[in-house]
Structure 1
Amino acid sequence: MPDHSELAGFYRIAEADPDRPAVIDADGAVTSYGDLHAMVNRVSHGLRARGLARGDVVAGVVPNGLDAVVILMATGQIGLYHVPINWHLTASEIGYILDDCDAAIVITAPAHERTVRQAAGAAEVHVGLAELAAGQPSSPPGDRTAGSVMWYTSGTTGFPKGVQRPLSGARPEDLVPVSVWFLGEVCDLRPGPAVHLVTSPMYHSAPCAHTQFALHLGHTVVIAPRFDPAEILALVDRYRVTNAMMVPTMFHRMLRLPAEVRERYDLSSLRQVIHTGAACPVAVKQAIMDWWGPVLYEYYGSTESTVAFAVKPHDWLARPGTVGRPAPGFRARILDENGAELPPGEPGLIYVTSSLGGFVYRKDPAKTAASMRDEWYTPGDIGYLDEDGFLFLCDRRTDLIVSGGVNVYPAEIEAALLEHPAVADVAVIGVPDEEWGHVAVALVQVVEDAGVTAEELLKHCEPRIARFKHPRVIEFRAELPRTPTGKLSRSSVREEYLATRGSVRSDVE
């Protein structure tokens, strides 16, 4: 067989090396690049046969699996927008997104058909891809142009909005070289034989994007149906996974596995584990690298800004806690509330700008304008740059606690509490207080059968964070709400707490 190890671009690889494994689904079924390409082409033809043209929208309410990959690659070669939708949403929530994005077609799975049909409105509903692909040719469609994924941001207030980027008009394979170069610079990912593990739902931007990147790099994509810490380790061992995308809470859950479970699996194949989605406590990240070796690559950004900052393992080890320097093509500034630039070491609102292209919020120019300062976009996070330009995050602006006139960052308190072996999860929120304005309240989920008191946790915090940062109240919870990718919505936790507790007065001094 000819050596195509350096060939990049899914559509080209599928023609040059059709027998290469492309996707290994949750049930272990293997789909080759050639077979995947044929399925993608049939669905592309099927979408066009139903009248869809460049700039139209196809929505998907499908679980992780082969159908999700086919929709992604089929819309990506005929100039369509693809909107992946969280299948956990209610009919009204799905209906809002379908209406807002003007979806012409929505593709779903049998388990979600009833909800989607309630939500669909004018959109044409297809359960699975068989009907779209039936009778269609497996040859590439004519007049191929790159499509784009339009993700709907969860946001912290109001309704979600679609992050829409302009369509380039170029052929999809003509955009691959820039992506390959960028991934090489940021994550040391290269074209050729490798295995990528999907650990999170593909309705989120990073898992979806990394699936597409992996196929353009010629990697084999192994899809986990859901995140289970022991099963993820087993998949790495079974398929000799070389790279994956994860979020910090996954690391925390894997570190909580018993030693005999952790030692059961061979993880030596791992070369790049990219993490994003939330600030990773230093102790958690260090523990994973002690276990797996220096393989953790981190980037910081948002659905809107994409990968704005990035840091490789050895740079992080030299500066624990950083999320990196501006990624290639990006510039960054730290501004105060009046727009004045702040010096190194002083926290402020993070702004970034990129030469790689911009975005708008679909149908919401006011929201687009509110997120920008001229050409600069802010994801709403607070951080500071050190003298060498490395960014350190403090917290979300919306989560900042101002207590007695002093800024307190919940993420810093959470990181300290997570170092306690009895703490499985924690959320720190700001709650109104008559004397201090707001105080920090820690809602703690403990490891099963672990006995720990609030006083013990406060004592644990003493050598780790200043006393004024200690939570004034610690309450224990059976479980804390997180998204399937591990993101904690402090706003929803805060709303629930205030609805039942209101303001607090604390005995902790």
Structure 2
Amino acid sequence: MGWMADETGLDKTAANFVPLTPLSHLKRAAQVFSDRTAVVYGQHRVTYAQYHERCSRLASALVGLGVAPGNVVATLLPNLPAQAEAHFGVPACGAVLNTINTRLEADTVAYILDHGEAKVLLVDPQFLPMAQDAIARMEGPAPVVVEVADPQAGFPASGKNLDYEALLDQGDPVFDWIMPQDEWESLALNYTSGTTGRPKGVVYHHRGAYLMTMGTVVSWRMVLHPVYLTIVPLFHCNGWNHTWMMPLVGGTLVCCRDISAENIFNAIKHEGVTHFGGAPIVLNMLVNAPETVRQEFDHQVEVFTAGAPPAPTTLAKIEALGFNVTHVYGLTETYGHVTECYWNAERWDGLDADETAAIKARQGVAMPMLEPVVIRDSAHNPLPMDGKTQGEIALRGNVVMKGYLKNPEATAEAFKGGYFNSGDIAVQHPDGYVQIADRAKDIIISGGENVSSVEVEGVLMGHPDVSLAAVTAKPDDTWGEVPCAFVELKPGASADEAALISYARERLAGFKCPKKVVFAELPKTATGKIQKFELRKIAKDL
């Protein structure tokens, strides 16, 4: 079907078909952008020619350590040059990259190392004690440990393991990269957060990562030579694939070990950062930064934000500081962001600040690398695009994972009905824009009524004293569940429980208002997402 009547001799050959892979971006950049700055971290500044050489040395040295195609090489690293180099050097020797969350406890790291069967582990000295503890807990063979020293941040090598720079010295600078023969070959292994039981291993292929880089350039309106600040951890969906993308456009990757408002403003001012991604908490950090750490800059900074929907109030404030925010949405299983709140200028220019911010808080429409998003009911039937009917976000396309490693049952369940079933509950507006109501597990059912924790959080975040808010269910003898709010106040703020409940009642139906407010620092993941499962535990005992 769809073939021409006669296709004699029209075959795939080495001349007309090459498997798609993001590795090709750096191979090209080493030639086209050879003298441009590729990676920056303090005193570490390398050109694309040097970047390619270091990645080649890493690939060659890993082969020397016995790493074979299909093996897994793991990392426990912050956003440092070595982590970026691993994104190219590991697959360049045919291996699969497994970037591990540095905030995990030793038991979970041991499980990941065992489950992925890592042959080598690149580790920062800061995380070496945890890595050693994890290796001691492993059931299978231990990986070879390579320490990646960071003396400029106060983390010199311990001297007990092979040193990363010494390893590179052993490598061949003109090593012939092992390119994929099939774009379906595995490129990376990422583990879900594992908030309910053991984390699942999400497998990416070369084709998906390549298409992520291409689609992101379009959606982010990128031109040549952007300067990208690594705020999104490179262990989270491989930094949304942005490290693989930068060589495509000859961009500069600015590594940032410690995420703070001061470091972000300094990078924008002194390195000329033009783009970064981050959770809404990062936007909140910048909005609430004291004047003493803010820096003036003369260009607009493009920001992708993802995670919990950002409060409209935060979006309104951040843009006044010189940032243009685009809300995106995705999951580990989709290589990172795959929808965007594309701004329809013809329809929305001229709206006031509050209306603009409310629209920008939507998760939006499919990015170029994804098929159109649908909202489905529990039987996988499409639901109307009326902005009211809630269902589960379902996604399909080349940027959906291959599946869960060694877990065919979970893979089959995730792909039921021909789509990836996200677990996120949303409505779809008549224009096709998706707006998350909640995670399925975060919906609060109070007296038979569904309460969106996201909606309540958005209202509370509008209070001038509130820095951050999270809402979860609290058991109740009468209503079954009621909303319980956990709040971080701004420095010097004095709002109390009664004031916040009263504020909410002026803006929400009574059953949606929090019945309890707890003032505390909110537990967060390494990517800035609030750990609601921890808050649910606390709420049960209140």
Report % sequence identity.
Answer: 27
1:428 aligns with 2:471: yes
Q: Secondary structure at the match of 2:283?
A: helix
Deviates more, 1:352-361 or 1:386-395: 352-361
Q: Which residue of 2 aligns with 1:138?
A: 173
Work out which of the residue numbers 143, 159, 165 in structure 1 matches 2:204.
165
Work out which of the residue numbers 297, 300, 315 in structure 2 matches 1:267.
297
Deviates more, 1:51-60 or 1:314-323: 314-323
1:59 aligns with 2:79: no
Change (3 A) 1:69 1:308: closer
**Stretches of structure 1 lacking an aligned partner (at least 5 in a row):** 1-7, 502-509
1:325 aligns with 2:341: no
Change (3 A) 1:371 1:184: same
Q: Which residue of 1 aligns with 2:502?
A: 459
Preserved contact between residue 334 and residue 399 of structure 2 (Cα < 8 Å) = no
Q: Which residue of 2 aligns with 1:504?
A: none
* Partner Cα separation in structure 1 for residue 444 and residue 454 of structure 2: 11
1:238-278 CA-partner distances (Å, limit 9, x unpaired): 111111111111111211123x347x522332342111122
Residue 340 of structure 1 and its aligned partner are, at CA, apart by: 3.0
Q: Secondary structure at the match of 1:330?
A: coil
Residue 360 of structure 1 and its aligned partner are, at CA, apart by: 0.7
* Partner Cα separation in structure 1 for residue 213 and residue 474 of structure 2: 46
State TM-score, norm by structure 2. 0.84
Work out which of the residue numbers 351, 376, 400 in structure 1 matches 2:419.
376
Residue 71 of structure 1 and its aligned partner are, at CA, apart by: 1.2
* Partner Cα separation in structure 1 for residue 232 and residue 360 of structure 2: 26
Residue 356 of structure 1 and its aligned partner are, at CA, apart by: 4.5
Q: Which residue of 2 aligns with 1:505?
A: none
Q: Which residue of 2 aligns with 1:493?
A: 535
1:240 aligns with 2:283: no
Q: Secondary structure at the match of 1:380?
A: strand
Deviates more, 1:234-243 or 1:9-18: 9-18
Work out which of the residue numbers 336, 342, 358 in structure 1 matches 2:383.
342
Give runs of aligned pairs for residues 16-415 of structure 1, distance below 5 A. 16-25=32-41, 27-120=42-135, 121=138, 122=141, 123-128=143-148, 129-145=164-180, 148-166=187-205, 176=210, 178-190=211-223, 192-205=224-237, 207=239, 209-258=241-290, 260-261=291-292, 264-292=294-322, 295-306=324-335, 307-314=337-344, 317=356, 319-328=359-368, 329-344=370-385, 345=387, 346-356=389-399, 358-415=401-458
* Partner Cα separation in structure 2 for residue 148 and residue 438 of structure 1: 44
Q: Secondary structure at the match of 2:372?
A: strand
Deviates more, 1:483-492 or 1:318-327: 318-327
Q: Secondary structure at the match of 1:331?
A: coil
Q: Letter of the 1:165 partner, please give it.
A: Y
* Partner Cα separation in structure 1 for residue 381 and residue 31 of structure 2: 53
Residue 142 of structure 1 and its aligned partner are, at CA, apart by: 4.6
Preserved contact between residue 274 and residue 296 of structure 1 (Cα < 8 Å) = yes
Q: Letter of the 2:187 partner, please give it.
A: S
1:187-224 CA-partner distances (Å, limit 9, x unpaired): 1123x222111123221126252222123321111112
Preserved contact between residue 187 and residue 312 of structure 1 (Cα < 8 Å) = no
Deviates more, 1:144-153 or 1:406-415: 144-153
* Partner Cα separation in structure 2 for residue 257 and residue 112 of structure 1: 29
Q: Letter of the 1:322 partner, please give it.
A: R
Preserved contact between residue 212 and residue 241 of structure 2 (Cα < 8 Å) = no
1:446-477 CA-partner distances (Å, limit 9, x unpaired): 12222112121122223432222100111222
Residue 355 of structure 1 and its aligned partner are, at CA, apart by: 4.2
Deviates more, 1:58-67 or 1:192-201: 192-201
Preserved contact between residue 76 and residue 127 of structure 2 (Cα < 8 Å) = yes
* Partner Cα separation in structure 2 for residue 136 and residue 125 of structure 1: 17
Q: Secondary structure at the match of 2:93?
A: coil
Residue 358 of structure 1 and its aligned partner are, at CA, apart by: 4.0
* Partner Cα separation in structure 2 for residue 80 and residue 395 of structure 1: 37
1:324-372 CA-partner distances (Å, limit 9, x unpaired): 1122231222122233322122111111111455421111111112222
Q: Letter of the 1:126 partner, please give it.
A: V
Q: Letter of the 1:226 partner, please give it.
A: D
Q: Secondary structure at the match of 1:432?
A: strand
* Partner Cα separation in structure 1 for residue 146 and residue 494 of structure 2: 51
* Partner Cα separation in structure 1 for residue 30 and residue 411 of structure 2: 38
* Partner Cα separation in structure 2 for residue 239 and residue 19 of structure 1: 17
* Partner Cα separation in structure 2 for residue 126 and residue 369 of structure 1: 37
State TM-score, norm by structure 1. 0.89
Deviates more, 1:486-495 or 1:336-345: 336-345
